[in-house]
Structure 1
Amino acid sequence: MPQPAEAISPVRIAVVQFDPQAGLENCKHNLSHTLHLAKEAAENGANLIVLPELANTGYAFKTRKEAFDHAEFVPNGPSVEAWLEFARQHQVYLAAGLAERDGMKIYDTAVLVGPEGFIGRYRKTHLWNQEKLWFSTGDLGLPVFDTPIGRIGLLICWDIWFPEAPRLLALQGADIICSLNNWVWTPPPLFDATGKCMASYLTITAAHVNNVFIAAANCIGTDRGERFLGCSLIAGTNGWPISEVASAEEQTILYADVDLTCARTAPIWNSLNDLPRDRRTDLYGAMLGYDMHPPLAR
């Protein structure tokens, strides 16, 4: 469908790729570094900034007790308060990952903050490997948050391997999905000839089949021997990256200028192809539970 000549909801997205380290002795530096890099992004015009999963703590916990000791209350913990103050000061929206404490439970959580304050949280639905030993599985569903710049959904890392997760966010009207990640090295081959990893292609595919922007921030380097893939990217509503795909090794900030709400017409490819309309929920909706999430009226 033809797009308006002038952007209706212009947004500059920034995806931040860096190397937080586990250990209580590193938390202060991790948090400070997130603010330093987010400030660079804001000074370069970004008004939606995406940080990786567990950006303030690092990833490689040794025991559940250590994971618990790294965890903070949301939204009243020091990291969220620092991100909140940053968002207010710079008039930006920020998605960031942390370990959240709720009573005796801990969650792998993504928070969304903005100039108006705390917007919401998402608790990781699909836990990877030893995460199952530290964290409880998410219990808040797959929320989409309305903001002045558009509708924002959140996913965390392993979630992108499950097609239902981005699909349910898209059905609820997400204009963009912020994907906060610690994509780790798995058995080879890890990269193709273009330098992309499988997670890059899963992100591209999820953006394409749901016609939604996806901004994916990953870590780099190693954390207590756990190695990360990098390959952060920003995918357009047609799936193709609208930024470069980041390297596997370098700290970087990726930028993309988009008209965020154009995602709302992206599923309509032509007069005969409308992605939400073409879904055969009469066949598979009840079995998969999709009839509980009807497409947003457009």
Structure 2
Amino acid sequence: MAPRHAEAPITVACIQMEPHFGDTARNVATSITMIEQAASQGANLLVLPELCNTGYVFTSRAEAFSLAESIPEGYSTQAWMACAARLNIYLVAGITERDGQSLYNSAVIIGPEGLIGRYRKVHLWADEALYFAPGNLGFPVFSTPLGILGCHICYDCWFPESFRMAALQGAEIVCVPTNWVPIPGQDPQREAMANILVMAAAHSNSIFIAAADRVGTEREQPFIGQSLIVSYTGWPVAGPASEHQSEILLATVNLADAPRHRNWNDFNQLLHDRRPEMYQLPTPPLSPFVR
């Protein structure tokens, strides 16, 4: 793929699908069918859900280990790499990763040329901590002909530092494979809390965000769908998607708009206005952290 022109638009797709637990071959085949559909509509950057190759609700570490794959040698990464090369696309997909004896809730970043990199979920949710090690790669960004990509996974979105780290490293879009679940206290008449957080992060960092969720109920755990693609303004340009159905969201955007519009007026620029010297806790802290 030729180098990106600064003004060249791209088409981003979020693939909202329903993985079936433990059926890796079926899940990868489903993902590839939906990838092909999105690519036929012009998508050249596609995001799939968290752990979409295996499903999410493990009952033991042994079960998670039996379904995990190495990167890039494993079945799922190899299949997605072949698909990306054939369709000339870029792809971010959630995967259960095995690295030696360690397991990670990971995402692969793939282009026509093969594996570009991986991201390991930093903030583990609930009993994920029984199966996975916390991510140890930080918040890397990846330079591609389409633009500069960051990646987070699900619960990472609850931490403003995650998006700020990506923005400070030049990310123009953060791709989020996710498995959002119902949040206690959610007002059914309002946007999902996850969507509100993603919209706020896009606005407060002037970045695009593409969050691909799953749907369905797995081992009695429901998932909420509502994937979306958010502009650097903080407003969705596609979605939220259905709460229950598999769906492809598409949006054509110019990623160069994200850094360009961080200057809000003659005086204010989001990242330049930071005051890191003021972001220090007093010693001792005024109040203890509560767990």
Select between 265-274 and 148-157 the one with higher mean Cα deviation. Answer: 265-274
Answering whether residue 251 of structure 2 is matched by residue 253 of structure 1, we say no
- 1:163 equivalent in structure 2: 160
Q: In structure 2, which of residues 39, 47, 53 is the aligned counterpart of residue 42 of structure 1? A: 39
Aligned equivalents of 2:115 and 2:127: distance in 1?
Answer: 30
- 1:51 equivalent in structure 2: 48
**Deviation digits for residues 210-267 of structure 1 (CA, Å, limit 9, x no counterpart):** 0000000001110111100111000000100011211211111101000112212121
**Aligned-residue CA RMSD in angstroms?**
1.5
Q: In structure 2, which of residues 66, 69, 74 is the aligned counterpart of residue 72 of structure 1? A: 69
- Aligned 8 A contact 2:109 2:116 in 1: yes
Aligned equivalents of 2:267 and 2:281: distance in 1?
Answer: 25
- 1:206 equivalent in structure 2: 201
- 1:215 equivalent in structure 2: 210
Answering whether residue 189 of structure 2 is matched by residue 193 of structure 1, we say yes
Aligned equivalents of 2:281 and 2:30: distance in 1?
Answer: 46
Once the two structures are superposed, the pairs formed by residues 26-175 of structure 1 within 5 Å of their partners are 26-175=23-172
Aligned equivalents of 1:13 and 1:85: distance in 2?
Answer: 19
- Aligned 8 A contact 1:112 1:119 in 2: yes
1 or 2, which has the higher helix percentage? Answer: 1
Aligned equivalents of 2:57 and 2:13: distance in 1?
Answer: 25
Q: Secondary structure at the match of 1:275?
A: coil
In the TM superposition, what is the alpha-carbon distance from 1:80 to its structure 2 partner? Answer: 0.3
Select between 122-131 and 261-270 the one with higher mean Cα deviation. Answer: 261-270
Aligned equivalents of 2:11 and 2:281: distance in 1?
Answer: 39
Aligned equivalents of 2:232 and 2:18: distance in 1?
Answer: 28
Aligned equivalents of 1:206 and 1:47: distance in 2?
Answer: 24
- 2:19 equivalent in structure 1: 20
Aligned equivalents of 2:112 and 2:266: distance in 1?
Answer: 39
Q: Secondary structure at the match of 2:57?
A: coil
**Deviation digits for residues 44-63 of structure 1 (CA, Å, limit 9, x no counterpart):** 10000000000100111111
What amino acid is aligned across from residue 107 of structure 1 in structure 2?
Y
Q: In structure 1, which of residues 203, 223, 226 is the aligned counterpart of residue 221 of structure 2? A: 226
Aligned equivalents of 1:9 and 1:140: distance in 2?
Answer: 30
- Aligned 8 A contact 2:226 2:239 in 1: no
- Aligned 8 A contact 1:75 1:118 in 2: yes
**Deviation digits for residues 36-77 of structure 1 (CA, Å, limit 9, x no counterpart):** 111100011000000000010011111110000110000111
Among the aligned pairs, what percent are the same residue?
A: 47
Answering whether residue 233 of structure 2 is matched by residue 238 of structure 1, we say yes
Aligned equivalents of 1:28 and 1:223: distance in 2?
Answer: 17
In the TM superposition, what is the alpha-carbon distance from 1:285 to its structure 2 partner? Answer: 6.8
In the TM superposition, what is the alpha-carbon distance from 1:188 to its structure 2 partner? Answer: 3.6
Aligned equivalents of 1:286 and 1:148: distance in 2?
Answer: 40
- 2:288 equivalent in structure 1: none
TM-score (norm: length of structure 1): 0.90
Aligned equivalents of 1:27 and 1:116: distance in 2?
Answer: 24
- Aligned 8 A contact 1:100 1:109 in 2: yes
| Cα distance change on mapping 1:141 and 1:286 into 2, 3 Å | farther
Aligned equivalents of 2:279 and 2:195: distance in 1?
Answer: 28
- Aligned 8 A contact 2:216 2:222 in 1: yes
Aligned equivalents of 2:88 and 2:136: distance in 1?
Answer: 30
- 1:290 equivalent in structure 2: none
Aligned equivalents of 1:20 and 1:253: distance in 2?
Answer: 15
In the TM superposition, what is the alpha-carbon distance from 1:16 to its structure 2 partner? Answer: 0.7
TM-score (norm: length of structure 2): 0.93
In the TM superposition, what is the alpha-carbon distance from 1:7 to its structure 2 partner? Answer: 7.0
- Aligned 8 A contact 2:183 2:193 in 1: no
Q: Secondary structure at the match of 1:204?
A: helix
Aligned equivalents of 2:242 and 2:174: distance in 1?
Answer: 21
In the TM superposition, what is the alpha-carbon distance from 1:100 to its structure 2 partner? Answer: 0.4
